[in-house]
Structure 1
Amino acid sequence: MRCVILRTFGDKNTFAIQYEFVGNPFNENSLNGETWGRFEFFVYGRDVCQYKREDIVTPFQWNLIYIVEWFSENLKHILSDEAFPLPVEGQNSLEIIDNCLLFESDNDDEFDEWFDTKQEWEFKHSWFSNRAGSFLPDVFFRRVIGKIEIAWNNESMYSSEGISFINPIGVEYVPLGIFEPTIKNFIEDFLDNLLLNSKNKCDAEEVYQKIKKLIK
């Protein structure tokens, strides 16, 4: 699939997504492989996904369909004002998740239920579970009144692979009215480009229709 021009959604100084399709280095011809691209995720001027390896600063690249699918399936949970499902307090998502780990119980069923609930919330509020083998950072998204909290701590993430993130830690709050349209505009543009350029037309049309329904 041919490359498309770099596209930016939002304002980098507040919240923005920037992406472009590039040639798949593994020569994958499937629909997923056609979505290989560069992805930049700016929160108040900082690209959360950029990292350094062997002293080379590198933008995140992978099959971007995994990020698009995760956002399309979980945006409703991110935008929801439902409280955290466990009786745990914290100033932000990072503290809440850390404090969950302090739970102890001699009852195996109770212990398993606690951590199953924690994990289910993480699946809905962090894209990490959909990284598909990539160096995608662990980032949490949750609604706090009229804003979306974006929190991450990747100081030691993938350190065994020689990866160090340029902006490893942060907790920021983006207005809901900026976050939601930025995500949706990115997804819609991604789908339009995929449908236009894909050689797997039937698969692309199926994904297009499925995701369009999810983000209505």
Structure 2
Amino acid sequence: MTGPRELRRRRRVATSREQILDTAEELFGDHGYRATSLQRVAERCEFSVGALYQFFRSKEELLQAVMYRRGPALFADMRAAVAPGVGGLVAVVDAIGAFFDRYPSYGRLTIRLASPGEDTPRELSPSGEGFSGAMALFADILRDGQAAGEVRPGDPAALAEVASSLMTAYLRDREGLPAPEFREILAAAFGA
């Protein structure tokens, strides 16, 4: 049986860990992985860097923990939106956009990680989903759309890469490209 003192300690540890993850998510999202030091995360949390090392062995492990925390929920939302064809791609993009609206720092971080030039780990999901999981999901949507005659011919994996690039550009600045125009672009690019 766990005593009250141990329960209070566990709550403090859990609260501190969440504070570190929230802070790191915000800083990584706003400034990028390279530009965010563990020192900066520690200072924002009012911890020492040594205290951070009690929770995470490295900056990469901290980034992975940030991504793992929300990644499964994002994938669940994406899977729930799946439908074949271009409409399926649009539905998944809408689900991603809604998730990023709920967690804007996570959204900015995810867009950064999906963009060329970031020197961060590419595979960030403990279940192996990460970015390759998203690519596989997009390819499946396109493959199913091809089977239904709704999507242009071509290698679904290659088309998924193109779709991902378009989605990343759109999600980076949804204000700059209204949703109806983006849907038209997807329909023109991928429609049969």
Shorter-chain TM-score category?
Answer: under 0.3
Q: TM-score, normalised by structure 2?
A: 0.28
Higher helix share: 2
Indicate the structure (1 or 2) with the bigger Cα radius of gyration: 2
- Select the structure that is richer in strand: 1
